[in-house]
Structure 1
Amino acid sequence: MSIQTVTHLNFRGQARAALAFYQRVFGGDVTVVTYGDFGRAERPEEADQVIWGQVAADNGFRVMAYDVPAAMPYHAGENAFFVSVRGDAEEEIRALWDKLSEGGTVVHALAPSQWSPLYGMLKDQFGVMWVLDVAAPYRG
């Protein structure tokens, strides 16, 4: 079993451009999944915005990004990132979740999602937002 911690940057409509920029800087492959791809756009103008994206380079560079939907508050610099922990095994992610959630607030319960066998989001007791999931390849 192993886990990987990746910076997960939050934007308001700029995630795709940011990912393209980071790819130009660091190299690697870009993956972009939109709200429309999952049928989760709350507003028609958000369908092409990024619900999940990443740059992954052979040199080890990784960054994830998404566009915060208009229905959620977003203040650049205040909630501009998540700490994303990805693992290979559900048991390991569940154990980390149980510990991290002590004294915190669950934002999205740990459960299967369209993109992962197990995904959840929480704000820990110190106000840090965490995303935990079991890594799975995106199959478009």
Structure 2
Amino acid sequence: MSALVHFFSFVQGFSDLTLVIVRILAAIVFASHGWFKSFGKQKFRGSAERFAERGIPFPLLASYITSWSQLIAVPLLVLGFMTQWIALLLALEMIVAAWAKYMDTHAIFDGMDLPLGTLAICLVLFVLGPGAYSLDALL
């Protein structure tokens, strides 16, 4: 049992490095989705059409807001600057995305993995912050 306790104590020493990895992985996910919404084949109009189908009000405005907030969040997450505010904003966005996906399919597990997974990542960053290896920690 003491070996297990020793192991978990050892692993906890990597929490700041783990938060860097979580920030980078979150940035990759949001970069790909923000880029697709902004510069993909149908650009903002395609996202707006999908938003309208799911009943999101002001779909074109929502398309601009979501895509640009995701793209602006990318460098901020990587650098660890304003991390908790960015994580909160993105968490709210993921709650809306999960709700919209549910309203579209009325199935709890159909396509909910991405918004719920990214919501979990955002909540971790919101609660724990960016870690020691970040601009937030330096300021």
* TM-score, scaled to structure 1: 0.25
Greater helix share, structure number: 2
Of structures 1 and 2, the one with the larger relative CO (CA 8 A, separation 6+) is 2
Greater strand share, structure number: 1
* TM-score, scaled to structure 2: 0.26
Q: Which of the pair has more CA radius of gyration?
A: 2
